[in-house]
Amino acid sequence: MDADYHAHTTYSDGSPLPEMCRAAEAAGLDAIGFTDHCIVVDDEFGRRERYDLVETYERRREAIERVRARTALTVYDAAEVSYVEDAESETAAVLDAAAFDYTIGSVHFAGEYDYTTAAPYADASESDRRAAVERYYDAVVAAAESELFDVLGHLDLPERMEALRGHSRRSDYERVAAALADSATVPEINAGRVHRSLGRVHPDPAMLDAFREHDVAFVLGSDSHSPAEIERRVPALREVVEDRDVALAEFEPTPLGR
Ligand SMILES: [Zn+2]
Ligand SMILES: [Zn+2]
């Protein structure tokens, strides 16, 4: 592996750009993609105020230019965009204007469900938990079909939460794989929870053959928020690629301004 396509800086909930670049160099990467959170429309979970790359991407672009001048790495000016089903045209307009090198589309919430916090599911019944998970995959399929994004982020996010873990089914992975096979969007192997609660990458390595059957290849993303995470997660990603014989997509965007 020579590119990590998913990392966060202080322009959302991550660490300073120069520190992240140094860690990427030390990890032996050739390229790093900075994908700060980009919340195009207000959502009921109030994240837009904290992660407003819509307002700050121009400033971040200048900061990225400064680190590019000091590193041999290819540095991508990219974004992790929350996918909102009924805001596709607004999202497209923002992405057109911002002209990121590439975008990751991530389902963090869908309908009434928030998949970033476990609290709402603690007292939910089994069938309610399954309904929440099924709804998640509906949104993932819609995100692939929207063709709004280059990459689809952390494919089985609900598995991060203990209350929802084990509620993803083979049939969910299969319909996502089928949608991706018909889409230009490429999924990522995401190491965001490899050393934390989940203890594995997204998506479930046991389900990778569902993607293989559809000839779906992946890009790699550490989802690091700190230099220490790059240091630990990049080797973990390399290990998964090797152990699981992951098919890597030909994905090499041209960085803006180069
Ligand atoms: Zn995410
Ligand atoms: Zn992320």
The total number of structural domains in the chain stands at 1
pLDDT score for 167? 96
Residue 251 lies in a domain: no
Of all ligands present, the nearest one to the C-alpha of 106 is 1
pLDDT score for 192? 95
Distance 8 CA to ligand 1 centre (A): 10
Q: How far apart are CA 148 and CA 93, in angstroms?
A: 10
Q: How large is the angle between the packed helices 53-68 and 17-26, nearest 10 degrees?
A: 50
Residue 252 lies in a domain: no
Neighbours of ion ligand 1 (CB under 5 A): 106
Distance 21 CA to ligand 2 centre (A): 16
Distance 224 CA to ligand 1 centre (A): 11
pLDDT score for 144? 98
Say if residues 192 and 159 touch (Cβ distance below 8 Å). no
Say if residues 129 and 91 touch (Cβ distance below 8 Å). no
Q: Which residue has the tokens 């960085």?
A: 255
pLDDT score for 196? 84
Omega before 203 cis (within 30°)? Answer: yes
pLDDT score for 49? 66
Amino acid (one-letter) located at 154: H
Distance 152 CA to ligand 1 centre (A): 10
Q: How far apart are CA 246 and CA 216, in angstroms?
A: 10
Distance 256 CA to ligand 1 centre (A): 23
pLDDT score for 168? 97
Residue 255 lies in a domain: no
Distance 43 CA to ligand 2 centre (A): 17
CATH assignment at residue 209: 3.20.20.140
* Other beta carbons within 10 Å of 116: 13
Q: Going residue by residue through the chain (258 aa), what tens digit of pLDDT does each one get?
A: 599 999 999 999 999 999 999 999 999 999 999 999 998 887 665 666 667 788 899 999 999 999 999 999 999 999 999 999 999 999 999 999 999 999 999 999 999 999 989 999 999 999 999 999 999 999 999 999 999 999 999 999 999 999 999 999 999 999 999 999 999 999 999 999 998 889 999 999 999 999 999 999 999 999 999 999 999 999 999 999 999 999 999 999 988 765
Residue 80 lies in a domain: yes
Residue 252: both structure tokens together: 């090499």
Q: How far apart are CA 160 and CA 192, in angstroms?
A: 10
Residue 254 lies in a domain: no
Q: Which residue has the tokens 């990225």?
A: 64
Range of the domain at 235: 3-244
Residue 132 lies in a domain: yes
Q: How far apart are CA 176 and CA 40, in angstroms?
A: 24
Distance 214 CA to ligand 1 centre (A): 24
Residue 258 lies in a domain: no
Sequential DSSP letters for 116-139: S-SGGGTT--HHHHHHHHHHHHHH
